Structure 1
Amino acid sequence: MNDLTLLNQNVTDEQYLAYLQDHLKDRQLLDENRNLSLENSSEQDFLELFFLEKVFPQDKKLSPHTVKAYRSDAKTLLSFLTNHSLSFRDIGFPEVKAYNKFIKENYAAKSAIRKLEFFRRLLDFGYETQFYKAHLSTWISKPVSKKGHYIIEETRHEEAQTRVQVRELNQKDAEFLLSFFPKIVKAKRNREQLEKRNLLIGYLLYTTGLRASELLSLNWGSFRTNRKGFLFADVFGKGNKPRSIPIREETKEILFKYRASIRESVEINIEDTSPLFFALYNKNEPLLNKKRLTYPALYKIVKEAVHLAGKNLKVTPHWFRHTFVTLLLENDVPLAVVKDWAGHSDISTTNIYLERVNQDNSYLHLNKVNLF
């Protein structure tokens, strides 16, 4: 126990406190007020503590997607510094502005915003711990990103913004596409199980608005029946926020048929942590090896169904989420209810969908006006 990695290990309270008291003091990482001070620390200590305290804290569960994004952001910053023969200690006003310019010119708006937010957090941590003497993050300026369910044709700031395309399906196309999810199965072994699995994937995407990561993380124990006998799925969304989503009767029926086809109990068991969706290998006993389905596998299922159906080849799993939210609002489901079902952190995000629904329906209001 002689380095900062101890902070992310399972240790007793006594060990943890002793480490903070002794090792941080030995490394001269505490000031006269016993506050964390990195004024004279090594860059290694600065980076390790930044990641341990601000990026990957013990009490915060991050999705694999988020972890991958943070690592990508760190790699981008490190590459920039290396290419310019800079250290973290060298960062000042000129370096902040230069990196800001580099990110804006080389990344699409949403990626640029995320990378600059990572940079801001690092600079703020450095200022709070006296690694940096100035509040350097104040000089960061992020690009403006259009929120919502659109494919944004990304342009540089000096170019005009091109038109956008909605990333969703109409109800007719969505229902038509669902019928192709089981049809893409070519394997003879476990054919029935694969067909029912794929159909359930399609129905859950379309009738629940689940994010891909949320769907893939479902266990049999994620489902429960409420006091009135209706089936719900309990999921953890962005930021590990829990929410409950009602399951339609059509989807419930397909869910139980899928469970029966893989020789699993259809009795609800909230203690069952086995994955709902797993890879059905072409082996004699595939059901004994329940390796959770991955996003590439899910993406492939959707893409093959789209291709077989002859629909828009740009369709991805996330299009079904946008379709679900839009259909709810078109059928007058209250905005606050849609927000909760979709797991939006802010109702302003849900309102973006409503604004477009209202815009699409504007002709109805126009036709009510007696102009002639």
Structure 2
Amino acid sequence: MNHLEILNQAKKSDELQTFIQNLEINHFLDENRNLNLSNASERDFIELFFYSRIFIKGKELSKHTIRAYRGDAKTLLDFLSTHKLSFRDIGYPEVKVYNDYITEKYAAKTAVRKLEFFRRLLDFGFDTSYYSSPLSRWIHKPAVRRGHYLNEENKNRVQLRELTQEDAENLIDYFPKVVRTQTYRRHLQQRNLLLGYLLYTTGLRASEFVSLNKGSFYYRKGELWVDVIGKGRKHREVPVRVETEMELLRYLEMWEGSSEINPRDETPLFYSLYNKEETRQRITYNHLYKIVKEVVRIAGANQKISPHWFRHTFVTTMLENEVPLVDVKEWVGHSDISTTNIYLDRVNKGKSYQRLKKVSLFENKNSPSQEY
């Protein structure tokens, strides 16, 4: 019985007993009933690592996070394959070379994530006796510049991955213009316009955005809110501006024949249309990404702009307009207020010169540059 079958059986009703039996059959328990993989195959090792440290039962991961983990695993596997190495061959030299390889090839934030995945795998290997020493001690992650930048390696002037309010508002006007098809042209133009408004005025992550249903919206005391499912399946409530509400109601009227908000409606908010039968399918991140990229192209804007830039823009715009830090944190779903505070530190620094100008330092002199 291979380990994939073990994992599948472990999910059945007699989960614990079945799992224990299969671990014993494969000799994966030592005399203290601790997980011991000293004699495990590479396949058993990597599958148990994912089962025990990544895909933990009760901890839901987003599609983006799962895709990132798989990408990190593939990077490591490709490196091992290129150098004709196995997991068993990993020691200090291999850790050092892989560390250098990742640091040189990837931007700092990506390198940190990939090296963190590697560290967790090595720690799991040491904890289960697959490795005889704590190899993760030799991992050294690159320093990451605080904030959201295009070029993390340039320590001088860098461009933020966000838009000015003027640029964001200008880009929204181009969202309807990317529609080329004549079929349901006005419907798709209104859909795209609503996409732009929601991106700019809610600060949602792209994964949260494409997961919205028509029933995600509801009224409370006459004000429209949207219920968002964020990271870790955590719910949060985000207020919807009146301008965006109007575009939403026009969209619903155009597509559904009614602008009524029904919180029980679980159908997707945004559709893509496919084939001659005009089959509706929930919009994907890739589709959203392509729409934004096409908007950027025809607007002649920075080609590096992506949907996530609008999220950064929202946070900065709110803080520049003195919305309380705690409100912004809740709206965008930051787990730690220190993340939101990164933006506030930069906003305050940007206003520091204006504060300096307001201070009178030469009240009794006609000019600070008198000659003596």
Q: TM-score w.r.t. structure 1 length? A: 0.91
Indicate if the aligned counterparts of 1:185 and 1:191 stay in contact, CA closer than 8 A.
yes
Per-residue CA deviations over 1:232-267 (Å, capped at 9, x if unaligned) read 212222333322111112111211211121126543
Q: Confirm or deny that 1:225 pairs with 2:233.
A: no
Tell whether the 8 Å contact from 1:104 to 1:112 is kept in structure 2 after alignment.
yes
1:327 corresponds to 2:326: no
SS at match of 1:271: coil
Aligned pair partner of 1:193 in 171, 187, 191:
187
Q: Deviations over 1:133-188 (max 9, x none)?
A: 21221221100111323212536xxxxx3420022222222222212211222222
CA separation in 2, counterparts of 1:327 and 1:57? Answer: 37
Give the aligned partner of residue 162 of structure 2. Answer: 168
Structure 2 counterpart of 1:195, one-letter code? Q
1:194/1:280 contact within 8 Å kept: no
Distance 2:73 2:56 in 1: 16
Q: Structure 1 regions of 5+ residues with no counterpart? A: 156-160
Q: CA deviation at 1:3?
A: 3.5
Structure 1 residue matching 2:226: 3-state secondary structure? strand
Superposed CA deviations along residues 212-241 of structure 1, whole A, max 9, x for unmatched, are 111111111222223x23222122223333
The aligned counterpart of 1:158 is none
Cα gap change, 1:208 to 1:9, in 2 (>3 Å)? farther
- Measured at CA, do residues 264 and 145 of structure 1 come closer, stay the same or move farther in structure 2, by a change above 3 Å? farther
1: CA distance, partners of 2:117 / 2:257 = 44
Which residue of 2 is the match for residue 119 of structure 1?
118
Q: 1:335 to 1:37 in 2, by over 3 A?
A: same
Secondary structure of 2:227's aligned partner: strand
- Equivalent residue runs for 1:1-372 within 5 Å: 3-8=3-8, 11-14=11-14, 16-152=15-151, 154=153, 161-226=155-220, 228-263=221-256, 265-281=258-274, 283=276, 285-286=277-278, 289-372=279-362
- Please say if residues 10 and 19 of structure 2, whose CA atoms lie closer than 8 Å, have aligned partners that are also in contact: no
Q: CA RMSD in A?
A: 2.1
CA contact (8 A) 2:6 2:22 kept: no
Distance between the aligned counterparts of 1:200 and 1:8, measured in 2?
43
* 1:32 CA displacement: 1.3
* Distance change in 2, residues 1:8/1:203 (3 Å): farther
C-alpha displacement at 1:112, in angstroms? 0.8
Say which SS state the counterpart of residue 205 (structure 1) adopts. helix
- Gaps of at least 5 residues in structure 2 are 363-372
Letter in 2 for 1:76: T
Q: 1:184 to 1:82 in 2, by over 3 A?
A: closer
- State the shift of 1:198 in Å: 0.4
Q: 1:22 to 1:10 in 2, by over 3 A?
A: closer
